[in-house]
Amino acid sequence: MNAIVKKELNKQVSKINESNTGLMAIYRSTDNKSTDNKSTDNAGKDLQIIDTMVPGRDLNAYITAVNGIAVLTAEEEHELANQYYYEDNLDAARKLVLAHLRFVVHMAKSYSGYGLSEADLIQEGNVGLMKAVKRFNPEVGVRLVSFAVHWIKAEMHEFILRNWRIVKVATTKAQRKLFFNLRSSKKRLGWLSQAEAEAVAADLGVEAKTVMQMEGRMGAYDASFDGAADADDEEAYQAPAQYLEDTRFDPARTVEDSDFEKSSTDHLYVALENLDDRSRDILNRRWLSDDKETLHELADEYGISAERIRQLEKNAMNKVKAILEA
């Protein structure tokens, strides 16, 4: 029995070693330093470094790791950008992305007031950074960070608008502009007066009505459908789940929908039976079959023009419509 247990343990250890080997290969592809044969302790340390490059795992460790990556000089950045732009050197693109991760962290901190996870904002910003690196043209004569800031902000803004509220608070361009500028434009915590709303509207180039509407949206909250978990009997009844009715599975509604579908189908078959064979065949092959045929295909088969097929189709549709409405 001990021999069998020992054999199974050896199998598990070999699987773990194989997994560690694969992860070490991934880490070597994201680091400039080549790694020789290492001991088990060193392998564990390297695997721990991989975790620090994921903001969702340990945010503080991630920030420390990205701040430890050296900032590129203008010459180094230009050389790497040229290598990626003209030669599609992915290693150069990776170096550009890694060297600018600290700027994404800095920008994510400025959106901490929306109640969203900073790690999620950083990951969205990293997506924008990679998009910027892909589209960066070194011949323009600007630094990558100046170009990437717009892509990073765009991804973060889209993430905030998708997740800040269950109901969308900003759909138009003016509303999006207000969403990210109204908070900084307010001089106090209370509601805006009419004069203050008009002043903010003038600064942002929108209507005062839109300012008041956005302030109301930002001051609202998402009501829970099921109510709070710790709500007592005096408050639980106020939850929407207690008084909103779900009529989708009402037996009467189900029977009614089924009967309406059957009745509509029967009326359609009756209407088609009143058509001549050619018109019925045209409607079937143009509208009811899975592989719909074109006017020219039917025209070649019947030996008439495509315009004549269109006229027959239109007349047949009018007859069917008249029968269904009768």
Q: Is 168 exposed, middle or buried (0-12, 13-18, 19+ CB in 10 A)?
A: exposed
Query: Is 222 domain-assigned?
Result: yes
Distance CA 41, CA 235 (A): 56
Please check whether residues 176 and 191 belong to one and the same domain. yes
Please check whether residues 206 and 256 belong to one and the same domain. no
* Nearest to 96, CA basis, from 124, 82, 77: 77
Contact present, 270 and 280 (Cβ < 8 Å): no
Unique residue bearing structure tokens 């207690």: 242
Amino acid letter, residue 222: D
Please check whether residues 160 and 178 belong to one and the same domain. no
Among the candidates 222, 244, 266, a domain finishes at 244
Please check whether residues 57 and 150 belong to one and the same domain. yes
Query: Is 47 domain-assigned?
Result: no
Please check whether residues 272 and 316 belong to one and the same domain. yes
Please check whether residues 87 and 160 belong to one and the same domain. yes
Residue ranges making up the domain that contains 212: 167-244
Distance CA 78, CA 73 (A): 8
Unique residue bearing structure tokens 């969308």: 168
Among the candidates 106, 140, 164, a domain finishes at 164
Please check whether residues 78 and 139 belong to one and the same domain. yes
Q: For position 262, which CATH number holds?
A: 1.10.10.10
Distance CA 216, CA 169 (A): 10
Contact present, 148 and 129 (Cβ < 8 Å): yes
Q: What confidence score (pLDDT) does residue 46 get?
A: 38
Q: What confidence score (pLDDT) does residue 169 get?
A: 57
Please check whether residues 217 and 185 belong to one and the same domain. yes
* Nearest to 40, CA basis, from 13, 63, 58, 62: 13
Q: What confidence score (pLDDT) does residue 105 get?
A: 93
Q: What is the pLDDT along the chain (326 residues), one digit of tens a residue?
A: 444 444 454 554 454 344 444 434 433 444 443 344 443 344 333 334 445 566 767 888 889 888 999 999 999 999 999 999 999 999 999 999 999 999 999 999 888 767 678 888 999 999 999 999 999 999 888 899 999 999 999 899 888 877 765 445 566 666 676 766 676 666 655 677 778 778 877 877 777 777 777 776 666 555 666 766 666 777 776 777 777 777 777 888 888 888 888 888 888 888 889 899 999 999 999 988 888 899 999 999 999 999 999 999 999 999 999 888 87
Among the candidates 164, 189, 208, a domain finishes at 164
pTM listed for this prediction: 0.45
Distance CA 137, CA 84 (A): 10
Contacts of 23 (CB under 8 A, 6+ apart): 47, 50
Q: What confidence score (pLDDT) does residue 31 get?
A: 45
Q: What confidence score (pLDDT) does residue 187 get?
A: 60
b/e per residue 92-109 (b: at least 16 CB within 10 A): bbbbbbbbbbbbbbebbe
b/e per residue 12-46 (b: at least 16 CB within 10 A): eeeeeeeeeeeebeebeeeeeeeeeeeeeeebeeb
* Number of domains, the chain: 3
Distance CA 200, CA 208 (A): 8
| Rounded (5°) CA angle 225-228-229 | 120
Q: Which two tokens stand for residue 69?
A: 């990556």
Q: What confidence score (pLDDT) does residue 84 get?
A: 93
Query: Is 116 domain-assigned?
Result: yes
Contacts of 187 (CB under 8 A, 6+ apart): 196
| Rounded (5°) CA angle 133-139-141 | 90
- Sign for the CA dihedral angle at 172, 173, 177, 182 comes to negative
